[in-house]
Amino acid sequence: MPAQQKMTFDVRTEWVSHEVSVSFCKDAKIDLDTNLAGNPNAFNPAELLLAALSACMIKGIERVAPMLKFEFSGVEINLHGVRQDVPPKMESIEYEIIIDTNEDEHRLELLHKNVKQYGTVFNTVTAGTNLSGKIRRK
């Protein structure tokens, strides 16, 4: 039996100026705050990590909801990260998934379990920091 080919991901980033850099992937681009003083019009690397984590959770919900026949009409995710100074890293990340649904608590927790178990970015971040959170109905 041939080995299954692994998924790969490619991103290219260019320094534009002392104010901003730009990352490209597929047909998309995103401005990055790479300015030491900060740039309010772009995500800094830590914020980008949190955004990637929340996108992973929403993508996980999109993937498993049809399999679970879980009905919802909206999702919001709030994240809070705490940075450790030495060595610099994300010390902890807390999240809250707020989902607009009429599903019961058991089904809500089943969805949360699947999001935690099958997310690529979620599992990568979990391995390197204290990641905790909850899911609740809107």
Q: What confidence category does residue 2 fall into, taking pLDDT thresholds of 50, 70 and 90? A: confident
Number of domains in the chain: 2
- For the cut 90, the answer to whether the pLDDT of residue 3 exceeds it is no
> Do 106 and 54 share a structural domain?
yes
Residue ranges making up the domain that contains 85: 45-137
> Do 51 and 18 share a structural domain?
no
Q: What CATH number did the domain enclosing 66 receive? A: 3.30.300.20
> Do 104 and 61 share a structural domain?
yes
> Do 50 and 23 share a structural domain?
no
> Do 55 and 84 share a structural domain?
yes
> Do 56 and 23 share a structural domain?
no
pLDDT of residue 76: 98
- For the cut 80, the answer to whether the pLDDT of residue 83 exceeds it is yes
> Do 68 and 23 share a structural domain?
no
> Do 66 and 112 share a structural domain?
yes
Label each residue of the chain as H, E or C: CCCCCCCCCCCEEEECCCCCEEEEECCEEEEECCCCCCCCCCECHHHHHHHHHHHHHHHHHHHHHHHHCCCCCEEEEEEEEEEECCCCEEEEEEEEEEEECCCCHHHHHHHHHHHHHHCHHHHHHHHHCEEEEEEEEC
pLDDT of residue 31: 96
Q: pLDDT > 70: what percent of the chain?
A: 99
